[in-house]
Amino acid sequence: MASAATEADDGSVIHGYRSVWRWHFYAALWTAPLLIVLTLTGAIYLFDREFDGWWNREIQTVAARATLLPLARQEAIVRGAFPGGEISRVRLPSAPDEASVWNIRTAQGEARDVYVDPYRGQVTGTADPAKQPMNIVRDLHGTLLGGEIGSHVVELVACWTLVMMATGIWLWWPRKWKVKGVFVPRLATSGRRFWRDLHAIPSIFNSLFVILLVLTGLPWSAFWGPQFAKIGEVIPFVAMSPNFKAPPKADGSMGGDPHGAHKTMAEADRDSSKIPWTIKHVHQPRGSGHGPVGVSDIERLLPKLDQQRFGGGVRIFYPKGEEGVFMVSFVPDKAEGQRTIYVDPGSGRILGDIGWSNYSPTAKAVEWGVMTHMGRQYGLPNQIANLIVCLVLVASVAAGLTLWWKRRPKGELGDPQLDAGNRMPGGVKALIAALAFLFPLVGATMIPILLWSAFRRLGGTTTSRQ
């Protein structure tokens, strides 16, 4: 995000410019290709429900009737169609003309989404969730299809994007305030100045929104997210909810074992992409252990599924293990409507009831951020705004890469070289140090860069090159 406004008329560069530019260059060069992938997949995933509805329209759309079949009857139909299969969750219809979707693992160990007409009791079709286009897009966005390693790479890209944005804003900040070259690209020019303006000026307008998207996505990251959640164990302001440190007592009152003897949702192998981040880190209660899950158990949930209270699209997660519990999760577009209840499969008692009012201030901020990040908190305008931010980011990154390619000497990397007098400004140095502290993966990966820079200086390879 280099700015023409930072250069004097005689071509001299302000003190510290090259040092900051060097950090911006390194941050941008390695993140740019992956950042484009993450941004484009994020832009596509903004419309996941719309695409899924179209892609699965033949098996998801049903003709509505006045009366739904009992949930236990639908469950029996799924079990009959897949003998020996294990049901992990069901998503109730979001609209009257939608099928209910049962996620199962067949007796052969294959995952399947089973679509059931909730009025006629017919299986309308099945789908392999791993081959659903939006699931592939989501995995690209979250892991680059690289599993745990990919998750850490995505986190690194996101955190280094913050370094790139911070140094880019400093580079753009003008010595002389004017319209052209600072707020309006000089499209009549050509060469490096033209591409620099196309890179820097859209980026500066987009930067705060990009930073917001990065920060609101980080709670779900592989390393930083769990570490941030652990802060809630010692700082009430950050705690996910009143039962973050201990499971809720029976019938919804909070309290319990302060040592957290129960497993977290992540440890219980829940599908964390379908539940709020706050709930992911809540300790779940134990069930009464009244035997295996059966048809009568799911039927006990019916009094809890008040549609006026929850709305459509409720997900019910089945118990895991002998003392597992049902988890009823409602995640509407607006974060304020989130609600989660735990139900004992044996007795039907509510063991925990967690809503927006139970969230800590930080948990509320995180959940608002997640829903805004996904383009849902404010409906279609939210989706369109996020899409614009993504497209501008891709275009400005492409302009920056073009600028670098045109500027670099043939056959060389073209990274900014330093004179002996070039020093990083104290404020920028403090900001980068703060980012390294707040995001340890960034700090760890800065070490090789610092060592390489020191090696080059000792080797006498630093020169002044325009």
- Over residues 394-440, the pLDDT tens digits come to 999 999 999 999 888 888 888 887 776 778 888 999 999 999 999 99
Share of the chain above pLDDT 90, in %: 50
For 336-434, strand residue ranges (E) read 339-343, 350-355
Q: Determine the average pLDDT of the residues in 386-393.
A: 98
Residue 14 is predicted with a pLDDT of 53
CA 92 to chain centre: 24
Residue 25 is predicted with a pLDDT of 92
Which are the contacts of 201, defined by CB distance < 8 A and separation ≥ 6? 172, 182, 183, 184, 185
30-44, 72-86, 131-145, 305-319, range with the lowest pLDDT = 305-319
Angle between helices 440-458 and 426-438 (to 10 degrees): 130
Give dist(CA 101, CA 329) in Å, integer: 15
Q: Determine the average pLDDT of the residues in 249-256.
A: 33
Give dist(CA 380, CA 57) in Å, integer: 21
Give dist(CA 339, CA 354) in Å, integer: 6
Beta bridge partners of 353: 341
User: Three-state DSSP class for 60?
Assistant: helix
Confidence (pTM): 0.85
Which are the contacts of 391, defined by CB distance < 8 A and separation ≥ 6? 43
User: Three-state DSSP class for 378?
Assistant: coil
Domains in the chain (CATH in brackets) are 4-46+138-219+387-458 (no CATH), 61-131 (3.10.450), 242-359 (no CATH)
Give dist(CA 237, CA 231) in Å, integer: 9
Strands 350-355 and 315-317, how do they pair? unpaired
Q: What is the largest CA-CA distance in the chain?
A: 83
92-96, 187-191, 432-436, 455-459, range with the lowest pLDDT = 455-459
Strands 326-330 and 315-317, how do they pair? antiparallel
